[in-house]
Amino acid sequence: MRIHSGCGKFAARCLCTTRTRTADRDQQQSSEPARQEKMSFLFGNRSSKTFKPKKNIPEGSHQYELLKHAEATLGSGNLRMAVMLPDGEDLNEWVAVNTVDFFNQINMLYGTITDFCSEDSCPVMSAGPKYEYHWADGTNIKKPIKCSAPKYIDYLMTWVQDQLDDETLFPSKIGVPFRKNFMSVAKTILKRLFRVYAHIYHQHFDAVMQLQEEAHLNTSFKHFIFFVQEFNLIDRKELAPLQELIEKLTTKDR
């Protein structure tokens, strides 16, 4: 294993190959006003394994069946097949169920390393030395703000949670139609969730290894990438911070 000259990390783990910096300037969708109490979340319970409350899909609902279907097909070992839209199912619903599932997974993965991600360790939200993210949600915060990674991730996860809790966006009842802009919002959610994976991989992989969570992280990320590739949900340039890893995960075995 060689050491990457740019950041001193092992090459197999270092993914800092790209050059541009990006700032989050997305302003294309509206959301309910962010709940102030969530915004003031201060990482009070650091021993918790979950960063934000898990979003539950009600047992007995069609979406719950879809989630169970996803879990069952994942067990088959063929990820490309597992992420495909099941026969006769609605694409919006399939994307909705999986988006909720990815939020829960990332929530838990980040929850395990919050002790390592602090104002001191991560004064800016980054994914390696080449990528820095500034937070804006387009509604409450229009001008992107530079903030620490824990603060950024708190903003990000709170924002995602607000979207998932919005019944007009993520209807849980059968027969309630999805909004016309659902897919565009889902894409923004997934694009932002990707940044949490990117931050964990670039800044906290040592902690992940220490906690022996790397297989879990890799499996979750691989599933995420196969899913977004299947439906073309995230622009390639947004995935650049983890491009090497993505290539490794998606070409080695399918």
**Residue 99 sits in the site that holds Zn ion (CB under 5 A):** no
CB of 185 to Zn ion, least distance (A): 26
CB of 155 to Zn ion, least distance (A): 14
Of these, 149, 164, 169, 242, which contacts Zn ion (CB under 5 A)? 149
**Residue 203 sits in the site that holds Zn ion (CB under 5 A):** yes
Residue closer to Zn ion by CB (options 204, 222) is: 204
Residue closer to Zn ion by CB (options 115, 165) is: 115
**Residue 122 sits in the site that holds Zn ion (CB under 5 A):** yes
- Work out whether strand 132-133 and strand 125-126 pair parallel, antiparallel, or are unpaired: antiparallel
Residue closer to Zn ion by CB (options 13, 69) is: 13
**Residue 79 sits in the site that holds Zn ion (CB under 5 A):** no
**Residue 113 sits in the site that holds Zn ion (CB under 5 A):** no
**CA–CA gap between residue 209 and residue 166 (Å, rounded):** 36
CB of 204 to Zn ion, least distance (A): 6
Cα torsion angle, 91, 93, 95, 98, sign = negative
Say if residues 116 and 204 touch (Cβ distance below 8 Å). yes
Instruction: Candidates 37-45, 79-87, 90-98, 119-127: pick the segment binding Zn ion (CB under 5 A).
Output: 119-127
DSSP string, 101-145: HHHHHHHHHHHHHGGG--TTT-SSEESSTT-EE-B--SSS--S-B
Residue 43, token pair as written in the block: 């990482």
Instruction: Candidates 25-33, 48-56, 69-77, 122-130: pick the segment binding Zn ion (CB under 5 A).
Output: 122-130
Query: How many chain residues bind Zn ion (CB under 5 A)?
Result: 4
Residue 22, token pair as written in the block: 């990006």
Please, what is the end-to-end C-alpha distance for the chain in angstroms? Answer: 24
Instruction: Candidates 1-9, 79-87, 97-105, 116-124: pick the segment binding Zn ion (CB under 5 A).
Output: 116-124
**CA–CA gap between residue 65 and residue 73 (Å, rounded):** 12
CB of 202 to Zn ion, least distance (A): 9
Alpha helices in 124-173 (DSSP H): 149-165
Residue closer to Zn ion by CB (options 170, 205) is: 205
**CA–CA gap between residue 178 and residue 167 (Å, rounded):** 9
Instruction: Candidates 63-71, 76-84, 109-117, 157-165: pick the segment binding Zn ion (CB under 5 A).
Output: 109-117
CA distances from 135 to 73, 107, 141 (A): 36, 18, 8
Contacting residues toward Zn ion, per CB under 5 A: 117, 122, 149, 203
